[in-house]
């Protein structure tokens, strides 16, 4: 049971978690998040999708379970990123499951990708 007791008189109210921003459709979402991923690819540093999303306060896609992976596939197919390896996910809700890491391609680092 996860009941939360009301705060006692004079105690501060517990913080309210921020509302999750969610895009209305996939195309709108891709347009909103793409610049952050292209910028990350241009650095040549290794990253996870969550690290970029979290650092840039990006909105969630309409279907989080599938659209993050689809975005990374799209960026890979366009020549922006390549698979760099694996790591434990830093996303708090994944319980450190394995996720791919990505790195910008030479074309992305030189501003020539897609």
What is residue 14's predicted lDDT score, i.e. its pLDDT? 60
What is residue 31's predicted lDDT score, i.e. its pLDDT? 96
Q: What is the pTM of this model?
A: 0.78
pLDDT by residue (tens digit) across 24-81?
899 999 999 999 999 999 999 999 999 999 999 999 999 988 999 999 999 999 999 9
The domain 26-109 having CATH identifier 1.20.81: the answer here is no
- Contacts by 64-67, CB closer than 8 A, 24 or more apart: 67/26, 67/29
- Contacts by 90-94, CB closer than 8 A, 24 or more apart: 90/48, 90/50, 90/51, 90/54, 91/50, 91/54
Cα 82 → chain centroid: 16
Measure the CA–CA gap between 67 and 64, rounded to whole angstroms: 5
**How do the domains of the chain map onto residue ranges?**
26-109
């Amino acid at each position: 049971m996860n009941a939360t007791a009301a705060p006692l008189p004079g105690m501060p109210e517990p913080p309210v978690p921020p509302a999750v921003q969610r895009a209305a459709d996939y195309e709108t979402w891709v347009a909103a998040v793409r610049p952050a991923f292209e910028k990350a690819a241009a650095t040549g540093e290794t990253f996870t999708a969550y690290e970029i999303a979290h650092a840039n306060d990006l909105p969630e896609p309409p279907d989080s379970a599938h659209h993050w992976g689809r975005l990374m596939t799209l960026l890979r197919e366009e020549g922006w990123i390549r698979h760099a390896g694996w790591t434990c996910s830093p996303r708090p809700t994944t319980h450190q499951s394995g996720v791919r890491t990505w790195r910008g391609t030479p074309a992305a680092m030189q501003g020539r990708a897609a």
